Structures are given as structure tokens and as C-alpha cells.
Structure 1
Amino acid sequence: MQRYKGVSISDTPTQRKSASTVKTNFIQNILVQLDRRFPKSATDLVAAFAVLGLGGIEFIPADELDTFRDDKIEMLIEKYGEDKGEQKAHINALETKGEWLRLKKLLAEMALVLPIHTADVERGFRAQNVLKTAFRNRLASDKLNTLLVLRAEGPHWKEFEYGKALKKFRNKKERKIFCTTAAKK
């Protein structure tokens, strides 16, 4: 006999077998209840909704696009597209099939023009972080956008023609001149 925190514990082979039987029956009962509450048809229906996420559509060959996940859409149409007694259909089966076909083709075409890497985005954030520092935290979004476009599209500062820019600035008629209100009076 052993003791645990002042309590006597007896351990016999009969007690172990009884505890094992109780544990096995408990687990089997849980599995039966789970199967009763969540039948395979219900889990298949939930899995069919994943089709609306459209993951992986950009990697399928064109000849397989026409049938891409049609079985999942058929399952959803069967559940929500037919009258069942007093319950009316939630969707029109023919319209849903047509929309699904158009959506698949549109998304497949869009996937062809989307970038397959994030380097451009990362480069843009890096440029923004260089321009908008802690000391320039009040930089207006339109100014920041202009500076980002110049940084991305404009010439390198070593190649920039400052004289030409100065002449253009001088010849411009409408120019904002920075001055205080006291200087205006």
C-alpha cells in the first residue's frame, strides 16, 4: 500500500483492470456521441464551404478549371438550392452554377497577373521607412506619396538636372512663398 499526500492508495490488478475498462467505455461513449452530434454528412457540408475560399485555383491547369471543385458546389446546391417541405430554397441552382463558372474563370485570369513574390511590396515599405522617419512623422500622405513615386520612378540624385529644375521653378507664375502673417502686413 502506498501513500499520497497522507491518503492510503491501494493498487491491485483487479482495480487496474476495472479502471482500464471504465476508461475504454468512457472514450467509446464520447466517440459515439460525437458521431451522433456531427454526422459525416454535416462535416462534408462544412468542408464544402471551404470552396468559397478558392485557395489553389491559380495552380490548376486550364483543362481542369471547368470542373474545379464542382462536387463541393453541387453539395451546397443540393443543401440550399432545393425546396424541402415548408423550407424554400435559399439559392437558385442554375444561377449558382453559372456564377461559379464565371467566378472560377475570373479568378484564374486574375491569378495570372498577380505578382508571385512580395519583393516589390517590401521595397516600397523600405522606401517609405527611409522617407518617413521619426523626425518626419508629420509628413502628409500626399507628400509622402509624391516622394515615394519620385524615389521609385525618378532619376537618381546624381543624374538629376538641378539647373533645369531651378529654371522651371523660376519661370512658374504661381508660386507659394513661405512667409509669416506679420510680414504680409
Structure 2
Amino acid sequence: MLADVIPVIDRLNLTFQKDNVNPSTIKPMVESTTHMLTQLLDTPGDNEREFSNSLQGATFNTTTLTHLHNRGQYERVRREFIQGLIDALRRRFPQTEVTILSALATVFDVERYPGADRLAGYGQAEMDVLRRHYTAVINPERAQRNFLPFKTAVTNYGATSFDTVCRCVIRQLYDQFPDFGELAKIALVIPVSSVYAERGFSVQNLIKTKGRNRLNEDRVNRLMMLRWHSKSLRDFDIGSARENFLTTKTRRK
């Protein structure tokens, strides 16, 4: 069973193990994963069927399976396990949040924009979702009026990644389209990728080793911040740092 389930979950995990995850990929991947798990809930996968067909009585590859007679219990546990995965996915990716992510992707993923002849109506349903959800952040009426001019303006960015478009909107178009600037800020801070969390654990493991296992949480956090954000030694200006240290009036004794 696990041989059938794990590849399905792995495909979803790989979606998030990228620096720049496009939110437009999340909804179809979650729906696809849920659908495949639902199929496994009712119908055994290829590996499980192969295992069942290879059984000779209660023996598999010369190994006697002592609990094989309790097939009903196995089926119950199997269904509970897969249903638990499906429920966990639905809790982790609520429909409302996934819909908002998809709407943001539609607005800011310029690569998906249609031609000029169909641009006017493109993304209107998704824009309505964002206008309703972020009424405390944007002016819904102004955002609607500016939607087509905004789309026309960002088409100049051409084949540009989702993150890059959001940053360009904030830096270059915020004064013209403040509502979309705010939406771009929201889109950039939604924690979609798991890359930074995984890198954080890697940095932590480099700092808090077996030989330094008495480091407290605050010290580890500070060292991680230095490791993550500081310049490399090749770029570090020691002379400037020394002068800054000597001219600092308040020092801890």
C-alpha cells in the first residue's frame, strides 16, 4: 500500500521544493493528489495488486505472513490511513485559501495572459474573488476600474516569473495601481515554497552540532540570522567594521 501512496505524496511535495513556486500550480496539484488518493481508497494500486497476486497461501517470497488471515482488519486500517491523508490535505489546503492563491496567480502570472483581443475579460472571476476577500486592504471599486489598464501595463513584462512581476508592480507601478501593489505584497509573503524552511533546518544543523549541543534557543537564532544574512568573508570589509565598532558609544561590558 505504501509503495502506491508514497509516490503520490512525493509528487505533491516536489511542487513546493522550488525557490519560486507558481501559485497557479497548487490547486491542480492538490486536486490531482486528492483524486489519486481517493482512487486508492476504493481500488488497490499496482504495487498492492502485484503483492496480492504474488502470495501463495500465506507465504510471500518464502516469508510466512502470520496475520494474513485477518484481511478485514487490514482493509479497515488501509482505508483509515488513506482517508486520514485525504483529510489532512483538505485541512492543509482549504478550498478558500487555494482559490485565493489561484486568483493571485491569474492576476500576476503574465505568462498566462491571453492575446490583446481577449485580455479585457481575462481573470474577471478571479479579480472578483480578490476584491471580496481583501476589502480591508484594497479599494474594490477602484481595483475593478483599474484592472484592464493594469493588465495592459504588465503585459510589457513579457515572459517574466510570478515573483518578478509582483516585485516590479510594487517598485514601478505602485503609484499608478496601489490596489494591485498591495495584492502583490500579499502574494509575495504567502509562504508557498518549503525551500527556505528546509534551508533553515540545514543552517541550524551546521550550527548546533553534537559538540555545541548546549547552545540555547536565543543564541542559535542569532547565529542562524548571522549565517543566513551576513556577507561572505570575501565581501566583508573588516576595516569598516573595526571603525564602526570603535566609534560606537554604547558597548556591553
Confirm or deny a common fold (TM above 0.5).
Answer: no
Structure richer in helix, relative to its length: 2
Which structure is higher in RCO with an 8 Å CA cutoff and minimum separation 6?
A: 2
Q: Which has the larger radius of gyration?
A: 1
Q: TM-score, normalised by structure 1?
A: 0.44
- TM-score, length-normalised on structure 2? 0.34
